[in-house]
């Protein structure tokens, strides 16, 4: 084989390579272009001719690919071609991606520029990045769930202790001196026990409802019922448990019949009413009103209790959040987050006004015509 044969062999080898090659001499003029280049980029064939300078080549390439001077890709590519050093990745208009690499030839004889189509690689890279983001999100959710679980365990162990201690303490007292106890004392102790049991039940109910909501098991079931009667009943329940409670009720509706989910409304109103009484421990005065405005029914529960510090109001609907003012009063911090989610589930909103040391008022606004979204995400 003479030298010409060698060169031909080399040209054929380069032609079948997956990459396209241009070799520039030390003056940055084209010395050789592989056939692959002409085949894959035929539109460049007429200016990729031996002797053409890299500057001309770049100008024609920019024109051919429609990359204007103001295009950010222009400067990026220009720097590479003028310098003939390093590597660039270049996106084309048709969605394809090229990687162009300049490798110096030995002894400053010139530069070999190889162009690789990396479209598939880029596609996979994007798919991988999307997968990674998905995994990161799943991990975040998992961590959040674990944190909520930890909070829940610490809350349960702390908050359930108080009523249990009340029950146990009162039972012990009665056990120790059963003969000496007057009827009145027994009644007092039993009342304390029943109060603690009712608080425990409320906490358990709240936790169960919150959990059902989380797992999407709590789906609204619409039925017709008398809202005025339900509010009256729930207020009566509070009166029975708290003798000192002063409760004023005012209902002004053109029609007391609504088509809502009775069970969910009961959870919502019970939470607000029991909070109103619980956070006004001295002598609770609670005003409940219900009226209609602009197609919405407003149910407002206002108390004269301890109130909420202004800067803490934005957080009270968060799971497990308890305001500093509530530190001495037992609770789980779950009631309002559940209440808000249920109100939203029924297409309504909940508003709060509170003045620290003076009282709070919670207003639930529900559309008279409730429409339930029929998708799997509607329960959160
Ligand atoms: P819990 O009452 O079990 O702590 P909630 O989610 O029902 O949980 O309430 C969250 C927090 O909001 C309470 O800890 C309390 O700080 C505050 N809060 C709720 N209702 C009232 C109210 N009527 N008066 C004062 N603070 C309230």
Q: What is the pLDDT of residues 26-75, one digit of tens each?
A: 999 999 998 887 777 778 878 888 999 999 999 998 888 888 999 988 99
CATH (residue range 135-214)? 1.10.287.130
CATH 3.30.450.20, the chain: domain bounds: 3-117
Q: How far apart are CA 337 and CA 317, in angstroms?
A: 4
Q: Does 3.20.20.80 match the CATH number of domain 3-117?
A: no
Query: Does the CB atom of residue 276 touch ligand 1 within 6 A?
Result: yes
Taking the centre of ligand 1 as the mean of its atom positions, its distance from the CA of residue 186, in whole angstroms, is 32
Other CB atoms within a 10 A radius of the CB of residue 202 amount to: 18
Query: Does the CB atom of residue 286 touch ligand 1 within 6 A?
Result: no
H or E element in which residue 323 lies: none
pTM of the model: 0.59
Q: Which atom of ligand 1 is nearest the CA belonging to 322?
A: 14
CATH 3.30.565.10, the chain: domain bounds: 223-378
Query: Does the CB atom of residue 199 touch ligand 1 within 6 A?
Result: no
pLDDT at position 379 is 38
Give 186-203 as a 3 state SS string. Answer: HHHHHHHHHHHHHHHHHH
Which two structure tokens, joined as six digits, stand for 82? 């003028």
pLDDT at position 123 is 93
Taking the centre of ligand 1 as the mean of its atom positions, its distance from the CA of residue 38, in whole angstroms, is 75
pLDDT at position 376 is 45
- Give the closest residue to 286 by CA, choosing from 348, 237, 359: 359
pLDDT at position 378 is 40
Taking the centre of ligand 1 as the mean of its atom positions, its distance from the CA of residue 279, in whole angstroms, is 7
**Burial annotation 102-131 (CB, 10 A radius, 16+ → b, else e):** beeeeeeebbbbbbbbbbeebeeeeeeeee
pLDDT at position 199 is 76
pLDDT at position 232 is 92
CATH 1.10.287.130, the chain: domain bounds: 135-214
pLDDT at position 158 is 65
Taking the centre of ligand 1 as the mean of its atom positions, its distance from the CA of residue 98, in whole angstroms, is 60
Query: Does the CB atom of residue 361 touch ligand 1 within 6 A?
Result: no
Other CB atoms within a 10 A radius of the CB of residue 284 amount to: 20
Q: Which atom of ligand 1 is nearest the CA belonging to 325?
A: 16
Q: What is the block-wise mean pLDDT of the chain (380 residues), using blocks of 10 residues?
A: 81 81 93 84 83 92 88 92 93 87 93 93 94 93 79 70 84 86 88 83 75 73 93 85 87 94 88 92 91 95 96 94 90 88 92 96 93 53
Q: How far apart are CA 102 and CA 129, in angstroms?
A: 28
Contact 219/380 with Cβ under 8 angstroms? Answer: no
What is the CATH topology of the domain spanning 223-378? Heat Shock Protein 90 (3.30.565)
Contact 227/290 with Cβ under 8 angstroms? Answer: yes
């Amino acid at each position: 084989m003479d030298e010409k044969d060698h060169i031909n062999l080399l040209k054929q080898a380069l032609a079948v390579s997956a990459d396209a090659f241009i070799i520039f001499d030390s003056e940055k003029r084209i010395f050789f272009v592989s056939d692959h280049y002409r085949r894959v980029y035929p539109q460049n064939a007429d200016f990729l001719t031996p002797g053409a300078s890299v500057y001309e080549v770049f100008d024609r390439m920019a024109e051919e690919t429609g990359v204007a001077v103001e295009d950010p890709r222009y400067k990026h590519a220009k720097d590479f071609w003028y310098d003939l050093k390093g590597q660039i990745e270049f996106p084309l208009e048709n969605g394809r991606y090229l990687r162009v690499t300049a490798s110096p030839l030995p002894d400053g004889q010139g530069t070999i520029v190889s162009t690789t189509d990396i479209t598939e690689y880029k596609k996979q890279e994007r798919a991988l990045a999307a997968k990674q983001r998905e995994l990161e999100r799943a991990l975040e959710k998992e961590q959040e769930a674990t944190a909520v679980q930890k909070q829940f365990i610490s809350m349960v162990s702390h908050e359930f202790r108080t009523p249990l201690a009340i029950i146990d303490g009162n039972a012990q007292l009665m056990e120790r001196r059963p003969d000496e106890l007057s009827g009145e004392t027994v009644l007092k102790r039993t009342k304390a026990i029943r109060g603690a049991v009712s608080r425990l039940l409320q906490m358990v109910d709240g936790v169960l409802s919150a959990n059902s909501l989380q797992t999407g098991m709590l789906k609204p079931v619409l039925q017709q019922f008398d809202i005025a009667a339900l509010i009256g009943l729930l207020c009566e329940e509070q009166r029975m448990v708290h003798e000192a409670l002063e409760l004023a009720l005012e209902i002004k509706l053109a029609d007391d019949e609504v088509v809502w989910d009775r069970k969910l409304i009961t959870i919502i109103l019970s939470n607000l009413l029991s909070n109103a009484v619980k956070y006004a421990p001295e002598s609770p005065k609670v005003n409940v009103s219900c009226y209609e405005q602009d197609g919405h029914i407003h149910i407002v529960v206002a108390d004269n209790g301890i109130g909420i510090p202004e800067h803490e109001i934005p957080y009270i609907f968060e799971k497990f959040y308890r305001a500093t003012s509530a530190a001495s009063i037992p609770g789980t911090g779950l009631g309002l987050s559940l209440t808000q989610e249920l109100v939203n589930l029924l297409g309504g909103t909940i508003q709060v006004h509170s003045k620290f040391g003076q009282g709070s008022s919670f207003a639930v606004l529900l559309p008279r015509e409730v429409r339930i979204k029929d998708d799997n995400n509607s329960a959160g």
